[in-house]
Amino acid sequence: MPDTPSELKLLIISRDTLLDALKDASSKKIFRTMARISRRGTHILLSAPEPERWVPTRGNVDNALNQQNELMKLANEAGGGIEGVYYVPRSLLTQDRNRKGALTDILKRYSVPAKNAVLISSSSPFIKAARRMGIVDHQIAPPGKKGKKLVSALDGLV
């Protein structure tokens, strides 16, 4: 983890990890904590696998976009902000390269060194890609499993 909270410049949270956490009673606290982190000047970005199909035609907006809008609305209501969702391309044979490429691109876009970024996810392969790059990580327990929860990972960043 960055040595001090003020060194945290970029927080990447897997969208699905956040969606899973919303099913928990502590979801209001999650967005309040994210707001405190973002008000300190930390950029918050969600990552998600690219949807298999985009369907933004004739008023039928893809579910991924609806989820993105809802999460951004909840963050804004709590006084913070999510800057967007970075969709990681899917590919059967190049998935590891896509994860690393996505993280590299995100760091470059935000001009943040890996040591000042944190990834929070329940995806072991995504966590491994972040570790290999020197990005600090917090692996969250998948739904229904015992282990670290998103709320405790965020609390550790404040």
CATH number at residue 135: 3.40.50.1000
Q: Which pLDDT belongs to residue 5?
A: 53
Domain of 37, in residue numbers: 5-50+60-155
Q: Bigger pLDDT: 14 or 91?
A: 14
Of 91-105, 113-127, 135-149, which has the strongest mean pLDDT?
113-127
Percent of the chain with pLDDT over 90: 42
Considering only residues 33 and 61, tell me which one the structure prediction assigns the higher pLDDT. 33
- Considering the domain boundaries, does residue 55 fall inside one? no
* 101 assigned to some structural domain: yes
Examine residue 93 and state whether it is found in any structural domain, yes or no.
yes
Q: What is the DSSP letter of 118?
A: E
102 within some domain: yes
With 90 as the cut, is the pLDDT of residue 121 above it? yes
Mean pLDDT of 77-96: 78
Domains held by the chain: number: 1
- pLDDT bin (cut points 50, 70, 90) of residue 67 is confident
- Single pTM value for the model: 0.86
Nearest to 130 by CA among 96, 86, 83: 96
